[in-house]
């Protein structure tokens, strides 16, 4: 149900507490006490055993309520919840927090209860948080709709957790470290409201600057990815996902299947969404503190100020562990430090200002770091010294930091003596860590987010060759494959050839005589391999023979392979042998493969190939759809990538062709959800050119059609069309692509100031990278964006663009149209917007609106022509155009 009614849960005016009580030690009592003490709206206790609770009139049931209720908090036994939810629907309650424990975690009976609740709530559009949850807290709104007694301070950090234990632990830390929250939500079993809903909601809340998640499992994977990819561009999302061990991974038949475990797939998905994943609860705590108190660093250049040499070394070692170094001090900073630091200071970063450092020396050093343009953040290490008071040091640090929004954090090493200083720093909003290692690690996680954000804004280059595939041929091969079995190698190679992958010539021989005849025609040297649906790893079964250089070698190899395979597996099904040219002395061997994940759909794997694939485990995972930039990033995550760039006397691989192979594989996975596992191992690279010499494809049945099996919506090719303008020009209309950024930039430069003013409501001389990425890197699930391309021009030329940006609720959208000055009045804008509206209607949008300036008469006339209602905004010089789909 998207964002429907979530405001009534998080900003309620009327709350009913079902199971309210004055009995100490009960959840109903804890809920009432929290609300009585703070909630400024109307409160309705519901309990048939009482007439009054905490001076409020009590109601026997929800059905007896006379006032419209925004939020019902349910804290009664699970078996009673079905009827209560039904009453909530009848009374048009906006949402419910089900505190009640039980449900599916208790077995089949509990599952049935949850199914009934879900069915009733969905039909009645009642939003549900829980069950099995603590509730939620919104400190800025003085709302404690939970049974946790203490309220954290108000801040800009939102925390969402499935685990009640993690919630209470984080809350306890927040109170100790003075960490402020905008929202604190326990989602429990996520019967309805899930992580995707929460990310979307919080992403549109201006009080939220950062989002912290503790995830045990996801429900709607596609919704989660869509929300995270959208929100992570503007707000950091930090995730602790439990369950990184391979113990729960299912057995897999192929190399790819074995290497693409659940933890690795989650890592790949989070990376694609721009999410930072931490490994431990400690790191989650540390990130929470840094995000809530400090601005994000723009880079990894860290200065370390310390009054003890050892802790500075510890911080340096942690930086080195993660591939970083302390930033070298620029000459200006060195000269400034020499003016006041003792002769024996470290003369480098870490800046060791010695054990007798006074508070003034700390402050002066910090000021030098602030004034340097070469530093992105400062770690101040405070150790107890005989010559200085830690509390005085902290007071000086607070004064020096006053009024500055700069990434500064402290490592306060010590115990009892330094505790007052720690409390003072926390109160002032300066993050504190008990070890330099924790401090550096938290900083680097924030750096990782900044790096993710930068990569999200990169423009993918176009391929120099057009991707052409034979989908019909591939479809016939898939249809004739046996579900649950690997396709014969020859069929696998035909499938990959249909998608333009460079496959070595392959022939099949069913007898020794046929093998001899094929070998003579093909020429030597050759490779012979067994063809059997029962043999996956041919080498293990003695089912492969290399470097056959004569007819005698071929005949001998045929007999040996058949014999070896029958010894290895007596009941083996043999369909003959495969013969192909011997591709020897390759410069490099890589693996390219795919696996269908139960939650995230198809996953692509790239890594080092050959017989050591599973031993070395040099691999990276990515999610389709892919483009050149994503393909290159995938390769860059592996060690073999360094070799592929050229090593000693070995030629560099053709990187564009490797990128193209990944894109072609991505398209194959988009088109055919039936592919469960796919291995191209090895892909041999010689003189820069890749050649696929071995392949296997496992097909299995799947009910989800393309492209719904993907968690990221692919390019919607079905929305392409052609038209002829009023002036007779042929125009290609298609969805916008990330690769269109250069076209869009050039198009913008051709616009007149008036056209720009009408579209952007102000003067805009150029598009910065953030805007360019926003306009071209769209989520096809939540946005409709079409461009008009001149088909009569020798080079691609953009003539106009129209888009409808959907709200997270999936029901409303806002339109915008922009047509080049030379092309206005030729029907391009109306055609683009009309097609956008048609797509929006097909996707379930109910209303589309747009704001148009009074003087933009052409746009107002176009709106009327397409059926928009025009409403003048009083005193604003603007009109609101609305259409009901």
Here the CATH number for the domain that contains residue 794 is 3.40.630.30
Check whether residue 328 and residue 375 sit in a common domain.
yes
pLDDT tens string 325-353: 999 999 999 999 999 999 999 999 999 99
185 with 313, same domain: the answer is: no
Model confidence over 481-499: pLDDT tens digits?
A: 999 989 988 899 999 999 9
Considering the domain architecture, whether residues 307 and 451 belong to the same structural domain is answered as yes
CA distance 526 to 603: 33
Same domain, 203 and 162: yes
pLDDT of 740: 94
Let me know whether 14 and 112 are in one domain: yes
Percentage of the chain exceeding pLDDT 90? 74
Number of Cβ within a 10 Å radius of residue 749: 10
Tell me, yes or no, whether 740 and 869 share the same domain.
Answer: yes
7 and 67, same domain (yes or no): yes
CATH number of the domain encompassing residue 379: 3.40.50.261
Domain for residue 337, yes or no? yes
pLDDT category of residue 251 using cuts at 50, 70 and 90 = very low
pLDDT at residue 249, as a whole number: 43
In a domain, 190, yes or no: yes
Q: Tell me which residue range forms the domain holding 360.
A: 295-456
Tell me the C-alpha distance between 799 and 789, whole Å: 6
What ranges in 279-411 are assigned the alpha helix state H? 281-293, 309-321, 331-338, 359-371, 390-401
Check whether residue 272 and residue 157 sit in a common domain.
yes
Coil/strand/helix, residue 811: coil
Q: Which of 3-7, 412-416, 841-845 has the lowest mean pLDDT?
A: 412-416
Q: Is the pLDDT of residue 538 over 60?
A: yes
Cβ-Cβ contacts under 8 Å for 48 (sequence gap 6 or more): 60, 61
Q: Say whether pLDDT at 548 is over 60.
A: yes
pLDDT digits (tens, 9 = 90+) for 135-174: 999 999 999 999 998 899 999 999 999 999 899 988 988 8
Q: How far is Cα 409 from Cα 412, in angstroms, rounded to an integer?
A: 10
Distance CA(494)–CA(478), nearest Å, equals 11
Cα-only R_g, the chain: 32
- Domain presence at residue 507: no
Q: Is residue 654 a part of any domain in this protein?
A: no
Cα 256 from chain centroid (whole Å)? 22
* Overall size of the chain counted in residues: 885
Q: Does one domain contain both 738 and 871?
A: yes
Positive or negative: CA dihedral 770, 776, 779, 784: positive
DSSP state of 503: B
Q: Are residues 389 and 347 in the same domain?
A: yes
What is the predicted pLDDT for the residue at 341? 96
Task: Give the tokens for residue 722.
Answer: 């052609």
pLDDT of residue 727 exceeding 90: no
Which residue(s) pair with 721 in the sheet? Answer: 733
The answer to whether the CB of 595 falls within 8 A of the CB of 677 is yes
Confidence grade of residue 874 (pLDDT, cut at 50, 70, 90): confident
Q: Is the peptide bond before 707 cis (omega within 30 degrees of 0)?
A: yes
Residues 436-464: what's their mean pLDDT?
Answer: 89
Residue 2 has pLDDT above 80, yes or no: no
User: Given this model, what pLDDT does residue 247 score?
Assistant: 46
Listed residues 456, 478, 499: the one ending a domain: 456
Classify residue 479: in a domain, yes or no: no
Final residue in a domain of this structure, among 293, 327, 350: 293
pLDDT tens figures, 787-835 = 999 999 888 999 999 999 998 778 899 999 999 999 999 999 999 999 9
- Say whether 53 sits in a helix, a strand or coil: strand
Domain boundary among 413, 439, 456: 456
Count CB atoms within 10 A of the CB of residue 548: 22
Task: Give me the residues paired with residue 850 across strands.
Answer: 881
Is the separation of the CB atoms in 835 and 862 below 8 Å? no
Structural domains in the chain (count): 4
Confidence (pTM): 0.90
In this structure, are 169 and 245 located in the same domain?
A: yes
Supply the pLDDT for residue 18. 98
Contacts for 503 with CB less than 8 Å, ≥ 6 apart:
493, 496, 497, 691, 692, 695
Per-residue DSSP letters for 745-785? HHHHHTS-HHHHHHHHSS------HHHHHHHHS--TTTEEE
Q: Is residue 823 part of a domain?
A: yes
Asked if residue 482 is part of any domain, the answer here is no
pLDDT, one tens digit per residue, over 58-93 is: 999 999 999 999 999 999 999 999 999 999 999 999
With a CB cutoff of 8 Å and minimum separation 6, the contacts of 205 are 158, 182, 183
CATH no. for residue 13? Answer: 3.40.50.720
Q: State whether 734 and 842 are in the same domain.
A: yes
For the beta carbon of residue 720, count every other beta carbon within 10 angstroms: 12
Residue 98 in domain: yes
Average pLDDT, rounded, for the chain: 92
């Amino acid at each position: 149900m998207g964002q429907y009614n979530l405001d009534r849960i998080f900003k309620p005016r009327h709350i009913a507490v079902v199971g309210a009580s004055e009995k100490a030690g009960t959840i109903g009592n804890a809920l009432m006490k929290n609300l009585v003490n703070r909630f400024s709206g109307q409160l309705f206790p519901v309990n048939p055993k009482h007439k009054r609770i905490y001076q409020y009139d009590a109601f026997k049931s929800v059905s007896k309520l006379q006032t419209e209720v925004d939020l019902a908090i349910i804290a009664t036994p699970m078996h009673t919840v079905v009827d209560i939810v039904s009453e909530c629907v009848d009374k048009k309650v906006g949402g419910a927090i089900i505190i009640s424990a039980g449900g599916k975690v208790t077995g089949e009976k509990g599952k049935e209860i949850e199914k009934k609740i879900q069915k009733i709530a969905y039909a009645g559009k009642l939003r549900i948080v829980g069950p099995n949850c603590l509730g939620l807290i919104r400190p800025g709104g003085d709302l404690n709709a939970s049974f946790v007694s203490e309220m954290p301070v108000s801040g800009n950090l939102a925390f969402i957790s499935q685990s009640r234990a993690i919630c209470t632990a984080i809350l306890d830390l927040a109170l100790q470290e003075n960490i402020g929250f905008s929202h604190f939500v326990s989602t429990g079993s996520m019967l309805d409201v899930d992580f995707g809903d929460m990310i979307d909601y919080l992403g549109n809340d201006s009080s939220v600057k950062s989002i912290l998640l503790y995830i045990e499992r996801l429900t709607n994977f596609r919704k989660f990815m869509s929300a995270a990819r959208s929100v992570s561009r503007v707000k950091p999302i930090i995730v602790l996902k439990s369950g990184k061990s391979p113990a729960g991974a299912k057995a897999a038949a192929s190399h790819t299947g074995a290497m693409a475990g659940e933890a690795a797939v989650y890592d790949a998905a989070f990376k694609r969404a721009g999410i930072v994943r931490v490994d431990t609860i400690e790191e989650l705590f540390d990130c929470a503190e840094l995000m809530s108190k400090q601005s994000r660093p723009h880079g990894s250049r860290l200065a370390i100020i310390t009054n003890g040499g050892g802790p500075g070394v510890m911080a340096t070692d942690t930086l080195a562990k993660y591939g970083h170094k302390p930033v070298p001090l620029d000459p200006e900073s060195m000269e400034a430090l020499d003016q006041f630091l003792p002769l024996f200071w470290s003369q480098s970063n870490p800046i060791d200002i010695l054990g007798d450092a006074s508070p003034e020396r700390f402050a002066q050093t910090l000021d030098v770091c602030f004034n340097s343009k070469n530093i992105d953040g400062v770690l101040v290490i405070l150790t107890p010294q005989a010559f200085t008071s830690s509390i005085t040091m902290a007071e000086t640090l607070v004064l020096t930091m006053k009024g500055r929004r700069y990434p500064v954090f402290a490592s306060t090493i010590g115990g009892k003596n330094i505790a007052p200083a720690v409390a003072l720093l926390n109160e002032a909003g300066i993050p504190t860590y008990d070890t330099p290692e924790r401090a550096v690690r938290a900083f680097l996680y924030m750096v990782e987010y900044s790096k993710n954000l930068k990569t999200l804004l990169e423009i993918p280059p176009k391929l120099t060759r057009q991707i052409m595939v034979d989908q019909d041929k591939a479809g016939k091969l898939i249809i004739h494959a046996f579900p649950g079995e690997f396709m014969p190698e020859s069929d696998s190679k035909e499938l990959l050839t249909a998608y333009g992958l460079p496959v070595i010539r392959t022939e099949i021989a069913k007898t020794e005589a046929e093998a001899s005849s094929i070998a003579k025609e093909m020429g030597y040297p050759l490779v012979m391999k067994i063809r059997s649906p029962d043999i996956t790893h041919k080498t293990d079964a003695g089912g492969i023979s290399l470097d056959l250089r004569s007819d005698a070698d071929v005949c001998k190899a045929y007999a040996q392979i058949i014999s070896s395979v029958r010894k290895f597996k007596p009941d083996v099904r043999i369909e003959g042998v495969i013969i192909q040219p011997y591709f020897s002395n390759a410069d490099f061997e890589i693996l390219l493969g795919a696996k269908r994940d139960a939650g995230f759909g198809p996953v692509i794997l790239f890594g080092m190939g050959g017989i050591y694939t599973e031993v070395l485990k040099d691999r990276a995972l990515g999610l389709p759809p892919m483009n050149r930039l994503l393909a290159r990033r995938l390769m860059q995550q592996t060690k073999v990538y360094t070799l592929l760039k050229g090593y000693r006397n070995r030629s560099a691989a053709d990187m564009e062709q490797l990128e193209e192979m990944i894109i072609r594989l991505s398209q194959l996975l988009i088109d055919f959800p039936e592919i469960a596992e796919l291995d191209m191992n090895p892909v041999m690279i010689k003189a820069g050119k890749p050649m696929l010499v071995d392949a296997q494809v496992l097909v299995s049945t799947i009910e989800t059609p393309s492209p719904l099996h993907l968690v990221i919506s692919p390019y919607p090719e079905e929305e392409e069309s052609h038209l002829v303008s009023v002036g007779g020009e042929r125009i290609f209309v298609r969805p916008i692509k990330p690769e269109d950024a250069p076209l869009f930039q050039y198009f913008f430069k051709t616009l007149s100031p008036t056209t720009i003013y009408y579209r952007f409501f102000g003067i805009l001389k150029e598009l910065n990278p953030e805007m360019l990425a926003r306009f071209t890197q769209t989520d096809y699930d939540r946005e409709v964006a079409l461009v008009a391309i001149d088909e009569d021009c020798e080079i691609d030329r953009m003539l106009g663009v129209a888009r409808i940006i959907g709200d997270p609720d999936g029901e409303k959208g806002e339109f915008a149209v922009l047509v080049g000055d030379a092309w206005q009045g030729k029907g391009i804008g109306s055609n683009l917007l009309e097609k956008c509206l048609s797509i929006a209607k097909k996707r379930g949008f109910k209303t589309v609106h747009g704001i148009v300036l009074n003087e933009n008469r052409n746009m107002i006339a176009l709106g009327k022509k397409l059926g928009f209602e025009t409403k003048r905004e009083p005193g604003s010089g603007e009109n609101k155009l609305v259409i009901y789909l």
